[in-house]
Structure 1
Amino acid sequence: MSGWAKKRFWKEATAEEVAGGFGIALDGRPVKTPAKAALVLPTRAMAEAVAAEWDAQDEAIDPATMPVTRSANAAIDKVTVQHGEVADMLAEYGGSDLLCYRATTPEELVARQNAGWDPMLDWAAEEFGARLTPVAGVMYQPQPAKALAILRTEVHRLNAFELAAFHDLVSLSGSLILGFAALRSAGGVDEIWRLSRIDEQWQEDQWGVDDDATREVQIKYKAFQHANRFYKLAQS
């Protein structure tokens, strides 16, 4: 079976061990990705999560309620075939990492950034031997080439499923370091998300909350949580 069926036609979705990992069967028929590749997942935990999404569908199928399935499809159909390009793109975040660009005023914002972001940069220096340098203002300044090379190597070590999760963790937070912190549990996912929004939270504290912006943030936050969960499923 490939693509998305419009209506449910199966009675039971099951996770089954297959060559190379775990697959999903609908009444014994193997599920394929939208690109008609075999849906082979790296762990039983991920396969069971995907099977549960298929089993939870009512008569009309809603892909929006199947986030693990969608991420698995993306890992196979998109990331696998361009792994190097995706890894390089994400590694580039290290050169302009959110944590490195600091305000010069007001003092309270400077203090918030220093208190939240310095420990993360210290963690990366200890964890990877890659020390990124904070700079004042928003003008680009190059980071140490050795540190960036180390981080790039770490990104390339991720497999397609891990990289699919990492893509969202990094792009949604704006930080390569925070993405790695989520992967290696250097703080809870909620705390890491909070650190990515220090500047935005400051603005809200000064000027109040915009309802439309808040809804957009909640969408991104849920996507960030999902990416963290998908990575954990890939590791189980």
Structure 2
Amino acid sequence: MSLFVPPSPEKKPFSIRHLNSVATAEQQPPSDAPSSSSSFAFSSDGSNNEKNEDDSVYLRAPRNPNRRRDSSSVTMPMSFMTGSIVGKRFYNQVTTREADDGNGWTVMLDYRTLKTPSKRPLKLPTLALAKAIAAEWEYQQIDGIRPFTMPLMKLACTALERVPLTRTKIIEHLMKKFNQDLVFCRAPDDNDLTSYVYDRQVEKIDPLLHWVESEFGFKPVVYSSFYGGKQEDGLFMAVENLLKKTDDCELAAIDAIAAASHSLVIALALVSGRLQIEEAIELTRLEEDLQMDRWGLVEGGHDVDIADLRVQISSASVFLGLSRSL
């Protein structure tokens, strides 16, 4: 049993790939490059410090007379993953190049190779994904680097660093919430306040449940309890086995979509090509949008939630598509 991923209108099965973690050979800086003595240091709160402190993370290695100078790479601070501004733009040109071993692509900030927060080369599986992440870096303004405008970079770091180390826990977390999946919860149909929600759920969500049944061979159980229900063991195991077969980029994307949509089923359907991005957003917001239609939109609340959901789901879907592009 397998899901299908459509880079085109035709479906293609999941491909299981393994990202190579071999470090990229460091590129020597040009003769006119700035000296490594001018180090950039950022503390955990994102502020720029001129002095060397123990809790700082350096964008360039600090000067040490007993060590060989090294300014051929850029390591992003851990605060990058939390979304806080990490300092002013310190580079002029952003480019991409093939890894020295020919396995993957890297992003270059001027003459320096971009690295992840744990100081691993940001080694990407396709040129398309490398160019997209390079575009995020090129977009950054002089006054500050804003990680919240770089969702593809964050997903790449997750796929390279978090997923390989915590794959089992990620799958366990996804399956722990599977029985309470959004698409399994149905509004009561015997109440005037909720019957219109029930009718829309039948119209929009039932086709997705039919897809689950045909894909995995088990009919999902729907329920109206806030505490959820329990799906058949066969369906549970089939979904879990599928997650175990995913590669790191696939699992990172599925985890991100499931977190945003509160639905592993929506995530799997989107990744497989059963749903498009707008359809996934519509199903996620179905009940809330019906409430908005009846009572109106709260500015600064509903509109912000919609924009955030669109970014989270779209970026994860685009990330996965670019990770497979030739």
C-alpha change, 1:89 and 1:139, in structure 2 (3 Å) is: closer
For the pair shown, the structure with the greater C-alpha radius of gyration is: 2
Q: Distance in 2 between matches of 1:140 and 1:62?
A: 38
Q: Distance in 1 between matches of 2:127 and 2:269?
A: 25
2:312 alignment partner AA: A
C-alpha change, 1:7 and 1:210, in structure 2 (3 Å) is: closer
Which secondary structure state, in structure 2, belongs to the residue aligned with residue 102 of structure 1? coil
Which secondary structure state, in structure 1, belongs to the residue aligned with residue 177 of structure 2? helix
What is the TM-score of this pair, normalised by structure 1?
A: 0.91
Which secondary structure state, in structure 2, belongs to the residue aligned with residue 234 of structure 1? helix
**1:2 alignment partner in structure 2:** 75
Residue 318 (structure 2) pairs with residue 229 (structure 1): yes
Which secondary structure state, in structure 2, belongs to the residue aligned with residue 31 of structure 1? strand
- Can you give the 5+ residue segments of structure 1 that lack an aligned partner in the other structure? none
What per-residue deviation string (whole Å, max 9, x for no partner) do you get for residues 127-159 of structure 1?
233432112333432110010110011122222
Q: After the TM superposition, which residues 1-236 of structure 1 pair with which residues of structure 2 at under 5 Å, given as runs? A: 1-3=74-76, 6-18=87-99, 19=101, 20-60=103-143, 61-105=145-189, 106-214=194-302, 215-236=304-325
Is 1:130–1:148's contact at 8 Å kept on the other side of the alignment? no
Give the number of the structure whose residues are more often helix, by fraction: 1
Is 2:222–2:229's contact at 8 Å kept on the other side of the alignment? no
Q: Distance in 2 between matches of 1:208 and 1:56?
A: 35
What per-residue deviation string (whole Å, max 9, x for no partner) do you get for residues 165-223 of structure 1?
21121111111111111101212211111011121122223322222331223222222
Q: Distance in 2 between matches of 1:225 and 1:66?
A: 13
Q: Distance in 2 between matches of 1:88 and 1:137?
A: 23
* Alignment: residue pair count: 236
Which secondary structure state, in structure 2, belongs to the residue aligned with residue 152 of structure 1? helix
Which secondary structure state, in structure 2, belongs to the residue aligned with residue 23 of structure 1? strand
Could you tell me how far 1:56 is from its partner in structure 2? 2.7
What per-residue deviation string (whole Å, max 9, x for no partner) do you get for residues 77-111 of structure 1?
32221111112211333221111111113332211
Q: Distance in 1 between matches of 2:321 and 2:230?
A: 33
Is 1:104–1:137's contact at 8 Å kept on the other side of the alignment? no
**2:27 alignment partner in structure 1:** none
Q: Distance in 2 between matches of 1:131 and 1:93?
A: 18
Q: C-alpha root-mean-square deviation of aligned residues, in Å?
A: 1.9
Is 1:130–1:151's contact at 8 Å kept on the other side of the alignment? no
Which secondary structure state, in structure 2, belongs to the residue aligned with residue 16 of structure 1? strand
What is the TM-score of this pair, normalised by structure 2?
A: 0.67
C-alpha change, 1:137 and 1:65, in structure 2 (3 Å) is: closer
Q: Distance in 2 between matches of 1:41 and 1:130?
A: 37
**2:51 alignment partner in structure 1:** none
Could you tell me how far 1:46 is from its partner in structure 2? 0.7
Q: Distance in 1 between matches of 2:263 and 2:297?
A: 24
Which secondary structure state, in structure 1, belongs to the residue aligned with residue 142 of structure 2? coil
Q: Distance in 1 between matches of 2:280 and 2:221?
A: 19
Could you tell me how far 1:40 is from its partner in structure 2? 0.9
